[in-house]
Structure 1
Amino acid sequence: MINREIEGEIALLRTEFPIVTILGLRQSGKTTLSKKVFPDYEYISLEDLDHREFAQNDPRSFLSRYNGEVIFDEIQRVPSRRSTSTSSNIG
């Protein structure tokens, strides 16, 4: 495994922020890096259909299931949910 200079920076960011996002090209080592920097974190891949459907259908319950530190991998597979509420003008 290649040692990366960024490992220490990511660990430091985690002490300052509740969420750290790692972005990069496909197959560039983001998952490996995450698991190396945070070896004690639970790992959840949203490539897993059961996890993905749960996250899509009931995001609050999905997130409440994980109280500790978690790595959510492939989170882009869960599209953002938009509000479907409508407003009307009464005049």
Structure 2
Amino acid sequence: MILREAENELRMLAAQFKAVAVTGPRQSGKTTLVRKVFKDKPYANLENPDIRRFAIDDPRGFLSNYPEGAILDEVQRAPVVG
């Protein structure tokens, strides 16, 4: 029941905004939820050092790889850009 409510809320928010942040405690299913709702979106995990370095060193270049949007996981690992 709760998961279904979260899915519906996430879909509604995504229809209204260009970006939506999903926050919560560790290991609570945030990534699973987002990947289920946005199956068609590419996934980039900033825990990967190469991906994180690209995002930090060239944020515009990094984001240009995702013109239709993406799931960006662990973004807190690159809190300051530029």
Residue by residue over 1:18-71, the C-alpha shift from the partner in whole angstroms, topping out at 9 and shown as x without a partner, is 001000001110000001111111111001111000011111111112111200
Counterparts of 2:75 and 2:81 in 1: how far apart (Å)? 13
The unaligned stretches of length 5 or more in structure 1 are: 83-91
SS state at 1:41 partner: coil
Aligned residues: 81
Q: Corresponding residue for 2:28?
A: 28
Give the TM-score of the pair, scaled to structure 1.
0.82
From the CA coordinates, give the structure whose radius of gyration is larger.
Answer: 1
What corresponds to 2:60 in structure 1?
Answer: 60
Hey, what's the Cα distance between the residues in 1 that align with 2:59 and 2:9?
Answer: 30
Query: Identity, % of aligned pairs?
Result: 48
Higher helix share: 2
The alpha-carbon deviation at position 77 of structure 1 amounts to: 0.4
Work out the CA distance in 1 between the residues paired with 2:54 and 2:69.
19
Which stretches in structure 2 are left out of the alignment for 5+ residues?
none
